[in-house]
Amino acid sequence: MRFNPKIIFLFVFAIDLIVIILHLLLSSNFNFFNFDWESNLPTIYQGLKLVLIGAIFFAITLLLKITKQIKDRNLLLFWFGLALLLILMGFDEAAQIHEFFPLYIAELFPKFADWYTNVFRAIGFNSSIWIAYLLPIFPIFLLWLLKVAKTAKNKYGKNLLKLLFGFALIFIGAFVFEFIGTTNEIFFSNWFEVVMIFEESFELFGATIILYYAISEIALLSQDIKKGQV
């Protein structure tokens, strides 16, 4: 049975719009649809979507390994790294682990937590402190990306633009708009709702674009396997 990645993309994109509309229409009366609350429809939906994408990337990794289409270890690390990253992001989205991470650090290493927090507060940082705690992850992610990007680019070319664009939207939503929205100037103003909608919309649409990329890649791989090219 064939499936059209573009149709799936449009279908999931339509669900994204419905989730946004439900927030706009019903969030004032029902927290189940409210972007500003956790463990509700938006977070569960986005979390499941991210885990699904990770599962597809993991399936691609297994297919490439089993069929021996790719012998380059960097490419296998590329797909496996994406799978692991997206699954972790999905669980984090559903459980909001990042929100509690600073609390865990404060309990385990109170002196370090005080020092680390004060460093950022001293330079005028007044947004969510979890952003500061996750900053060290980016150099690690960047080093991994640089390691595998050249090989992946040679193999997949312009198709990677969908993946990069999706991650860019998620980054802008999860960090840039989150940072802006939780500053004192915005958080206690009428602009908070607007910034929050942009934040969540960018995250929703970014994940859907990555899903489109994942489905497109596994569809191409499946066709190659059926043709005996793998």
Residue 2 is predicted with a pLDDT of: 65
Instruction: Supply the range of the domain harboring residue 102.
Output: 5-227
The tens place of each residue's pLDDT in the chain, 230 residues long, gives 467 899 999 999 999 999 999 999 999 999 999 998 888 999 999 999 999 999 999 999 998 888 776 777 778 888 898 999 999 889 888 877 877 888 888 898 999 989 988 888 787 776 678 878 877 777 777 677 767 767 777 777 777 888 889 988 998 998 888 888 878 788 888 899 999 999 999 999 999 999 999 999 898 888 777 776 54
Gap between the Cα atoms of 111 and 51, Å rounded: 35
Selection from 151, 152, 108 nearest residue 133 by Cα: 108
Selection from 27, 35, 34 nearest residue 178 by Cα: 35
The pTM (predicted TM-score) of the whole model is 0.86
Distance linking the first and last C-alpha atoms of the chain: 19
Residue 228 is predicted with a pLDDT of: 64
| Total tally of structural domains belonging to the chain | 1
Selection from 174, 166, 177 nearest residue 206 by Cα: 166
Q: Is 72 left (phi over 0), alpha (psi -120 to 50) or beta?
A: beta
